[in-house]
Amino acid sequence: MGTQRNGFSKRETFILSVDVGTTSIRCHVYDKSARIRGSCSTKVSLLYPQPGWVEIDPEDLWKGFVTVVKGAVQDSGLQMCQMESLGISTQRATFITWDRNTGEPFHNFITWQDLRAAELVRSWNRSCTMKTVHGVMKMLHFLTRQKRFLAASLVVFTTQHVSLRLVWALNNIPQLRQAVEDDSCYFGTIDTWLLYKLTKGLVHATDYSNASATAIFDSYQMCWSGFLCSLLSIPLSILPSVQNTSHKFATCDPSIFGVPIPVMSVMADQQAAMFGECCFDIGDVKITMGTGTFMDINTGNKPHTSVAGLYPLVGWKIGADIVYLAEGNAAGTGAAIKWAQDLELFSDVKETEAIATSVEDADGVYFVPSFSGLQAPLNDPKACASFMGLKPSTNKRHLVRAILESIAFRNKQLFDIMLRETRIPITKIRADGGVCTNNFIMQLTADLLGRKIERPSHFDMSCLGAAFVAGLGTGYWRNQEELKKLLTTDQHFLPRRSKADWDKGGPYRGALQSWERALQRSMHWYSQP
């Protein structure tokens, strides 16, 4: 029995968690066993005002956020006053700027997919300034052997980074420039904007996981990069304070949900998914297969310095403990499957597994999933998507199988570079995201990696991760060991051949090599105008 207060028994409490993704906003109510008691979701409406521009209306996003929180609590049959805390997970590197006095945005959210800064990226990466920076940093690394200088000597800008998209905004939006001069401008990623709205303008903050994904944060020094901001003329005064991932960021203004709910965690989505998968130990790997693939490895309390394009991120900071991740990503995972569906290669995504297994192989056909170029380790934004090896005997089933195989081949490529670069022994591999429901891709990935891969019972790991961190912050859950016991696994995928068999030339070794040749043929396809 609960304790008695004024004749009423103590109410059972729950954790609210919201994930603001690229295509949807989802909210779940979790109980002590990490079971979902109520849910609500809504779509994120992407705006395309010009070719290559991808935006989100900030007021639409805010209204969607409030709607899913209220909807999830209503769906659970519980009351808002039973919500002990709120955790928030968000897509990374999507940002906005606004007037700190009025709260009025100067523009829509400029998303991580937006290409308006492509020309800036090209010119900066080719500039004498960057060549000088790289040379100086190489010299500093040689003299000091400090890895942060090696990392700086390898820096190249991309459109996915906040840095040059923010420079574009500062150069092209007069009201924003004026607000910077008047010291009345705030910058923030989605989490920062939500905290500002939830507190009616009282809080301007982010966490280390989100800050580290902006490319204007120094993950070695754990602060905004004064050097990069100075180089790009980004004023430090507009940036939010950076807090621990598990932290009482704010209390929601009672007028929003009827009660003051504390916000106890703010996390970037891939790092939140890593936490939700309980990848707490060095060598734990998470593969999220959604619109794109994100492969992350826990590198412990030191950031990884990559020469092949793996990105060092802060996973989370809880108390004094910092966990770093190294991340490789591949665009065009779920996007390639959706494209094939739009071409009517199949009508329902669930059919693809049966279609792929209905043929013995892909008939020598290889698909290169590079609608957005190729990321690590090839790092070629000019690569094209392509089918290679087409012949008169090729049919739709071969094409579908080639697309699914390409996703597993890309997983193998990312995994190999991760092993080679980090030299960390792999302890476990967990997979999540919508594409991981495809058993063909999962089994082939396990075969290629030569490792067991665990698939969870439900796939909304970003939401669960933010909930876990929020719950740890209030004592709802005691520690990470308790969280591990709550984790459920739907299926284990075991490799069907040993590594020794693979080294001797297993059935997919030749296919993988041919696919890698297809990648090379697709590179540098789009010449620069």
pLDDT tens, position by position, 40-87: 999 999 999 998 899 999 999 999 999 999 999 999 999 999 999 999
CA distance readout (Å), 205 to 160, 245, 491: 21, 11, 39
**Which DSSP string do the residues of 350-364 spell out, in sequence order?**
GGHHHHHHTSSS-TT
pLDDT digits (tens, 9 = 90+) for 115-173: 899 899 989 999 998 899 889 988 988 899 887 787 777 778 888 899 999 999 999 99
Residue 444 lies in a domain: yes
Which one is predicted more confidently, 423 or 2? Answer: 423
- Which domain covers residue 484, as residue numbers? 330-522
Give the pLDDT confidence of 197-207 residue by residue, as tens digits. Answer: 999 999 999 99
pLDDT of 282: 97
pLDDT attached to residue 155: 79
How would residue 503 be classed by pLDDT, with cut points 50, 70 and 90? Answer: low
Would you state the pLDDT for residue 148? 75
Going by the DSSP 8-state scheme, the letter that residue 409 receives in this structure is H
- Nearest 5°: the CA angle 339, 344, 346 is 95
**Domain total for the chain?**
1
pLDDT of residue 4 exceeding 50, the answer is no
Query: Which residue blocks in 277-435 are alpha helix, DSSP H?
Result: 334-342, 352-357, 396-422
Return the higher-pLDDT residue of 377 and 354.
354
With cut-offs at 50, 70 and 90, classify the pLDDT of residue 212. Answer: very high
pLDDT on residue 387: 97
Q: Domain of 435: which CATH number?
A: 3.30.420.40
Cβ–Cβ < 8 Å for 91, 210 = no
Q: What pLDDT sits at residue 500?
A: 57
Please say whether the beta carbons of 335 and 488 come within 8 A: no
pLDDT at 51: 85
Distance CA 428, CA 484 (A): 13
On whether residue 218 sits in a domain, the answer given is: no
- pLDDT at site 21: 92
- Asked whether residue 275 carries a pLDDT value surpassing 60, the answer given is yes
Task: Please give the average per-residue pLDDT across 377-391, as a whole number.
Answer: 88
Beta strand extents in 197-306 (DSSP E only) = 205-207, 217-218, 223-224, 241-243, 246-251, 262-268, 284-289, 293-300
Q: Is the pLDDT of residue 9 over 50?
A: no
Element housing 86 (H / E)? strand 83-90
Q: How far apart are CA 455 and CA 138, in angstroms?
A: 42
| Residue 10 pLDDT | 55
How confident is the model over 294-342, as pLDDT tens digits? 999 999 999 988 777 788 999 999 999 999 999 998 888 988 999 999 9
- Show Cβ contacts of residue 68 under 8 Å, excluding neighbours closer than 6 positions: 18, 25, 26, 27, 40, 41, 42
**Within a domain: 471:** yes
Reported as a pLDDT band with limits 50, 70 and 90, residue 5 is very low
Residue 358 in domain: yes
Q: Is residue 395 part of a domain?
A: yes
Residue by residue, what is the 3-state secondary structure of 4-42? EECCEECCCCEEEEEEECCCEEEEEEECCCCCEEEEEEE
Alpha carbons 340 and 335: distance in angstroms, whole number: 9
Q: Give 466-497 as a 3 state SS string.
A: HHHHHHHHHCCCCCHHHHHHHCCEEEEECCCC
Higher local confidence (pLDDT), 99 or 142: 99
Give the mean pLDDT of 177-182. 96
Q: Across the chain, what does the average pLDDT equal?
A: 92
* 127, part of any domain: no
Indicate whether 515 belongs to any domain.
yes
% of the chain with per-residue pLDDT over 70: 96
Give a yes or no: residue 250 inside a domain.
no
Percent of all residues in the chain with a pLDDT value above 90, rounded to a whole number: 78
